[in-house]
Structure 1
């Protein structure tokens, strides 16, 4: 075979240089009849299969190149799997945060398939931003051995001091979700513990400014609203990327050790409220009456004042008239004044008249006992 025939074993033999005869167990390229190159029209035949296998074995050099090919194939498969590991899927309500060499590179917010360079070039973090997460403060809810829900109290979290120096046992549930995926991942390391500490601080601050009675009765919603506002403000200052959606007070009761004292306080408060209501009713009744009496007295005083002024004016005018008359006739005026005065003095007096001109000097004086009797009783 020529040099070209060695490089192309499937080529045809040349006419100028026939191939040397082979061993008896192998056929030549010209005389053999069994190769792939043979045709039904008697054309030239291709090289013998045994010869080709022998050439391939000689090129493998004892099998080492074959093992190298297997290693290359394994490497290619590993590279393909490594490259395929960069494929990710974003579901509804999820964000994909992609880091390149540890630094934030981009955020995918649309759902569907995406691709990022595999680790360690890029790292993809899938984060659900719509899922509502819950945080329990003051209690832990779990499942018992029989499968039912079981609530365990955590006193170090639930016991709080109110503004009126009472102790309240308060259980709180905080609901939150993610509003900024970048801040949520990169700004704070232990985000759940941070939310828990912020929530405990906020609720203790609000409870410490509120009396016990509203907390355990109708003031829970106000306490929860104020605590939520403080939590959100603190978390925003931390750039946590967290949104507080709801704060619920699950339970708020008096600590068992102070229940008797609290009952006394409640009873005293009820008594005070009763007394206050009674006082209010009495005030609502007596104040209008007092105001009416005051108005009446003022009007009577004004009328008395006017009457006294009018009377004094009349008396003064009458005195002036009497004085003028006195100046005109002194004896007549004296007699008139005497008669008028005696009329006023003797108007209501008991009178007994004895006419001396008709022999009154000989009449026996007598005491009217029937008239003196009431007077004696009055004297007693």
Structure 2
């Protein structure tokens, strides 16, 4: 039977609440009752009996789940691409983590990211005393990067500061063992290499986890009080180097030509020597062939040799001298002019002439007298 049927008023929840027929509750009692139930979920009062205990257990579970989720999400972290993370568990080194999304135990582990790929710059400068007791201001800068994250963090208190102090020490040591002229002019590269070597020697025992990539010698100058004098000295040294380079270039240009000329003269001398030797050997061979003939007929051979020699001599000239027998006259024939006139189509008798040389008339040692014509030449031949 339902509680709201007639005759069943004892089962009415509003009238029989708590075993008493009290009637419907007012609004304040209803709100208070709802508040007590929600308070029991979070461990509130004990009103409500077994129902209150059930709501309290559910609240604790919800709180625990929320706390676990919050703790889990709080443990996620990210290591950048150029970094490496050092893990500290309760303050003690526990390893390293690679770049990417990682998770840690919150409140128990701490992550220290270390940049492993970026090249860092560290300058150093100051006034320093050189070996020859001069004061010079030197500026130098090094480039370095981290290669061992654990040593970089734990070997010393501050690896960057330790490297800076080591650079100052190495720079002052090298400058103190070098002359000022070398630092300002030609010895800059040697000073740079020496500083690099000395710096690596200093930091090696400390295991800083760093590597020196490069050392740059930026500037070196004397104090302002003596700067002008040193500028003049540097200009003079630069002029000296320039003149030496120009002289070397001139020598490199002249020497090959001189050597070529010497070689050409040597080749010409050797060629002339070979020619003379061959001509002499040819003459010896020719006279050796003529010797038997000369021994057999000396006069005939001598005459033939004379005629052969005269033939060679007169073959190279266009003028002919004719000695007329029985007289003191010598006939000169200008054959070159005769040939020119014949080639021009003119008559020889009208254009050419003969000249008679009378040696006896040259009593004053002057040039001989020229006279005569073609008819006299013809009479002399007859």
Using the size of structure 1 for normalisation, the TM-score is: 0.47
Q: Taking CA–CA contacts closer than 8 Å with sequence separation of 6 or more, which of the two structures ends up with the larger relative contact order?
A: 1
Using the size of structure 2 for normalisation, the TM-score is: 0.47
